[in-house]
Amino acid sequence: LAAEAAFMARTGASQRLRAQGADVLSGGVASSWQATIPGTVWVDHGAGSRLVDADGTEYVDLHGGFGVGLVGHAHPAIVDAVSARVRRGTHFGQPVQDAISVARALAERFGLPLWRFNNSGTESTMDAVHLLRVATGRPKIIKVEGTYHGHHDSVQVSVYPSPEQAGTPQRPRSVPAAGAAVPQDLVRLTVVVPYGDLGAVERALHEHRGEIAGMIIEPIMMNIGLIAPPDGYLRGLSDLLHAHGAWLAFDEVKTGLAVAPGGATQLFGVTPDLVCLAKALGGGLPCGAIGGVPELMNLISDGIYEQVGTFNGNPLTMAAARAVLEDVLDAAAYKHFATLRGIMVAGVQRIQRRYQLPGQVRGYGAKGAVIFTDRLDNYRDFVAYPDQWGHAHWLYQLNNQVFLPPWGKCEQWTVSVQHTEQDVLGFLSNLERLAADLR
- Complete DSSP assignment for 157-181: BSBSS-S---B-SSSBPP-BPTTS-
Nearer to ligand PLP, 121 or 263 (CB): 121
Nearer to ligand PLP, 120 or 397 (CB): 120
List the x/- string, 81-120, binding to ligand PLP by CB under 6 A: ---------------------------------------x
Instruction: Report the residue closest to ligand PLP, judged by CB.
Output: 121
List the x/- string, 34-73, binding to ligand PLP by CB under 6 A: --------------------------------x-------
The distance from CA 196 to its chain's CA centroid, rounded to whole angstroms, is 19
Residue 251: active-site member: yes
Nearer to ligand PLP, 11 or 122 (CB): 122
Q: Where does 137-232 have alpha helices with state H?
A: 184-187, 198-207
- Residue 122 C-beta: closest distance to ligand PLP, Å: 3
Q: Where does 188-274 have alpha helices with state H?
A: 198-207, 233-243, 263-268
List the x/- string, 255-294, binding to ligand PLP by CB under 6 A: -----------------------x----------------
- Residue 50 C-beta: closest distance to ligand PLP, Å: 23
- Residue 251 C-beta: closest distance to ligand PLP, Å: 5
Nearer to ligand PLP, 121 or 194 (CB): 121
Distance of alpha carbon 169 from alpha carbon 256, whole angstroms: 28
Write the CB contacts of 182 (distance below 8 Å, at least 6 apart in sequence): 153, 156, 157, 176
Contact 223, 411 (CB under 8 A): yes
Nearer to ligand PLP, 150 or 262 (CB): 150
Total of residues contacting ligand PLP (CB under 6 A): 14
Task: Identify which of 289, 337, 356 has the alpha carbon closest to the alpha carbon of residue 106.
Answer: 289
Near ligand PLP by CB under 6 A: residue from 50, 254, 391, 393: 254
Question: Segment near ligand PLP (CB under 6 A), from 144-152, 230-238, 260-268, 311-319?
Answer: 144-152
- Residue 426 C-beta: closest distance to ligand PLP, Å: 25
Task: Identify which of 290, 362, 340, 284 has the alpha carbon closest to the alpha carbon of residue 317.
Answer: 284
Residue 143: active-site member: no
- Residue 369 C-beta: closest distance to ligand PLP, Å: 13
User: What's the burial of 119, exposed, middle or buried (CB within 10 Å: 0-12/13-18/19+)?
Assistant: buried
Nearer to ligand PLP, 320 or 351 (CB): 320
Distance of alpha carbon 424 from alpha carbon 306, whole angstroms: 45
Task: Identify which of 400, 397, 403 has the alpha carbon closest to the alpha carbon of residue 62.
Answer: 403
Contact 49, 7 (CB under 8 A): no
> Contact between 122 and ligand PLP (CB under 6 A)?
yes
Question: Segment near ligand PLP (CB under 6 A), from 249-257, 322-330, 342-350, 353-361?
Answer: 249-257
List the x/- string, 209-248, binding to ligand PLP by CB under 6 A: ---------x----x-------------------------
Q: Is the dihedral of CA 315, 319, 320, 321 positive or negative?
A: positive
Near ligand PLP by CB under 6 A: residue from 251, 273, 381, 423: 251
Distance of alpha carbon 215 from alpha carbon 192, whole angstroms: 10
Q: Which entry of 140, 279, 367, 409 is annotated as an active-site residue?
A: 279
Q: Which entry of 148, 233, 305, 379 is annotated as an active-site residue?
A: 148
Residue 409: active-site member: no
Near ligand PLP by CB under 6 A: residue from 125, 154, 156, 265: 125
Task: Identify which of 428, 373, 387 has the alpha carbon closest to the alpha carbon of residue 37.
Answer: 387
Near ligand PLP by CB under 6 A: residue from 42, 117, 148, 385: 148
Nearer to ligand PLP, 407 or 427 (CB): 407
- Residue 179 C-beta: closest distance to ligand PLP, Å: 15
List the x/- string, 406-425, binding to ligand PLP by CB under 6 A: --------------------
Long-range contacts of residues 352-359, Cβ cutoff 8 Å, at least 24 apart: 352/435, 354/432, 354/435, 355/432, 355/435, 355/436, 355/439, 357/389, 357/435, 358/389, 359/389
Contact 357, 351 (CB under 8 A): yes
Q: Where does 116-163 have alpha helices with state H?
A: 121-136
H helix and E strand count, the chain = 16, 14
- Complete DSSP assignment for 267-336: HHT---SEEEE-GGGGBTB--EEEEE-HHHHHHHHTTSS----TTTT-HHHHHHHHHIIIIISSHHHHHH
Catalogue the active-site residues.
148, 251, 279
List residues binding ligand PLP (CB under 6 A).
66, 120-122, 125, 148-150, 218, 223, 251, 253-254, 278
